[in-house]
Amino acid sequence: MQDVLNQVGINNYIFLSVLLFCIGVFGVLYRRNAIIVLMSIEIMLNAVNLLFVAFSTYHEDAQGQVFVFFSMAVAAAEVAVGLAILVSIFRNIGSIDVSNLKKLRG
């Protein structure tokens, strides 16, 4: 791993992560389908996870990879909750378009 990292350079990993992260952000911003928004958030998190792993290798330190497990577990819990909410929304209004969620405003 270390070799690959040295060849590619840590900066490129960072750029990749940032790119992925931004893709996630734009996904959240521009998509109205709640599932896609959720997936975009997952892309954001995974972009970070990627970077964690890269840094972990870069520093030759296992903490970063352990952290990835944390974050994956947390993300899973989050998604579980999110999907549960999504289901109940779908039951109530028959749609999962987030732009329909405008009852609370003003």
Partner 1 sequence: MNTLIAITALGVICLIFELLNLRKILVPFSIVALCGILYLNSLDYNQTASYYNNMIVVDNFSVTFTALFIVLTTFLVALGHHFYDDVPEKLSDFVAIKIFLLSGAAAMVSFGNLAMFFLGIEVLSISLYILAASRRLNIKSNESGMKYFLMGSFASGIILFGICLIYGAIGSFDMRVIMEAAVSADVEEWFYIGGILLAIGLLFKIAAVPFHFWAPDVYEGAPALTTATMSTLAKVTAMATFFKLFFAMSGNLPETSQTVLVVLSGLSMTVGNIMALRQANVKRMLAFSGISHAGFMLMTLIGTQISAGTLLYYGTAYAFAGIGAFSVILYVCRHLENEDIVNFQGLGKSNPFLAFVLTTSLLSMAGIPIFAGFFAKLMLFSQVLESGHLALVIVAVVNSIIAVGYYFKLILAMYTKEPQHERTGRPFYIYAVATVALLLNLTIGLFPSLVTDLLR
Partner 2 sequence: MDLSIILLLLLAPLGGFLINTFLGKQLGKGASGAIGTLAIVISFVCTLLLFLGLEPGADTKADLFHWLTFQNFSVDFSFQFDQLSLLWLLFVTGIGSLIHLYSISYMHHDKDFYKFFSYLNLFVFFMIVLVSGSNLPILFIGWEGVGLCSYLLIGFWYSNQAYNDAAKKAFIMNRVGDLGLLIGIFILATVAGTLDYQGLETFFQTKGSLVDSTWLAVAALCLFIGACGKSAQLPLYTWLPDAMAGPTPVSALIHAATMVTAGIFMVTRLHFLFDLVPAIQNVIAVVGVSTALFAATIGLAQNDIKKVLAYSTVSQLGLMFLALGVGAYEVAVFHVITHAFFKACLFLGAGSVIHANSDEQDMRKMGGLRKVMPITFITMLISSLAIAGIFPLSGFWSKDEILLEAFHYSIPFWAVASLASILTAFYMFRLMFLTFFGEFRGTEHAKSHLHESPALMTIPLVILATLAAVGGLISIPGSSWLMHFLEPLLHTDGAPEHHALDQTAYILMAVASVGALVGIFIAYRKYISNKEVPGEDSEVTGFTKVLAEKYYVDELYDSVFVKPINLLARFFRDVVETALGSLVYGFGKAAAEISNQGRKVHNGSIGLYLFVFVIGFCLIVSYLFLAQ
Site for partner 2 in 10-49 (CB under 8 A): 25, 28-30, 32
User: Which residues have CB under 8 Å from 18's CB, separation 6+?
Assistant: 47
- Structure tokens of 25? 């952000």
Cβ-count burial of 34 within 10 angstroms (0-12 exposed, 13-18 middle, 19+ buried)? buried
The item of partner 2, partner 1, none sharing an interface with residue 30, based on CB under 5 to 8 Å by kind, is partner 2
Q: At its nearest, how many Å lie between partner 1 and the CB of residue 44?
A: 4
Specify which residues 50 forms β-bridges with: none
Choosing from 14, 50, 86, 101, the residue that interacts with partner 2 (CB under 8 A) is: 101
Measuring CA to CA, which residue among 78, 80, 81, 84 is closest to residue 96? 84
Binding stretches for partner 1 (CB under 8 A): 10, 14, 17, 21, 24-25, 28, 34, 37-38, 41, 44-45, 47-48, 51-52, 54-55, 58-59, 61, 63-64, 66-67, 70-71, 74, 77-78, 81-82, 84-86, 88-89, 92-93, 98, 101, 103-106
